[in-house]
Amino acid sequence: MPKGNKKRRRVSKHKANNYGIHLLVGIKGPRAWKVTIYRDGRTFNRLFSFSRYGGREAARQAADACRDELILTHLPKLSRDVRQRIIATNTSGYPGVHYRCYTGIAYWVARTTLRNGSSVTKSFRVEYYGYERAKELAIRERERQLDSIGDYRSFKVVEGERRLMQLMVENPSLEITGI
């Protein structure tokens, strides 16, 4: 057998509540649970081998506890903070506000992407408001759009958000803002 086949591979969806936990399978079968959480460009990995923890279920319980601790100590950013990042092509100096000129008609545009992937856009014609006033109105509109979406934690995977909510129900004394 080639050496490449001896590597571990991931198998998921073995249990409910699997956010951030994968079963590692070797040549001789399942051998460990691996916890992986990604936050702000960082990866948090922990391995829970069946032999070290005294069996599959004990290792899973330790992996669940570790995952829950990682979720609570490394919360995702608030959606508003994520949307306030200025990208390299931004020319206005304000996130979500940009200048456009279509067929000779100039606009300042305020745009915000919503949680479901759609976006809200409102534009202000320079011809009607003047350059500075249209820009000011676009900046105010962008703030209004951000206020209307509210503050929630920006999970990339729905299961992560569900798990955090479940942890909060199980532990009512937890105080986490922006949920």
Q: What is the pLDDT of residues 41-86, one digit of tens each?
A: 889 999 999 999 999 999 999 999 999 888 888 887 777 777 777 8
Q: At what angle do helices 56-73 and 158-170 cross, to 10 degrees?
A: 90
Main-chain phi, psi angles of 76, to 5 degrees: -65, 160
Query: According to the 3-state scheme, what is the secondary structure of 96-137?
Result: CEEEEEECCEEEEEEEEECCCCCEEEEEEEHHHHCHHHHHHH
**pTM of the full structure:** 0.59
Supply the pLDDT for residue 76.
79
- The distance from CA 59 to its chain's CA centroid, rounded to whole angstroms, is 27
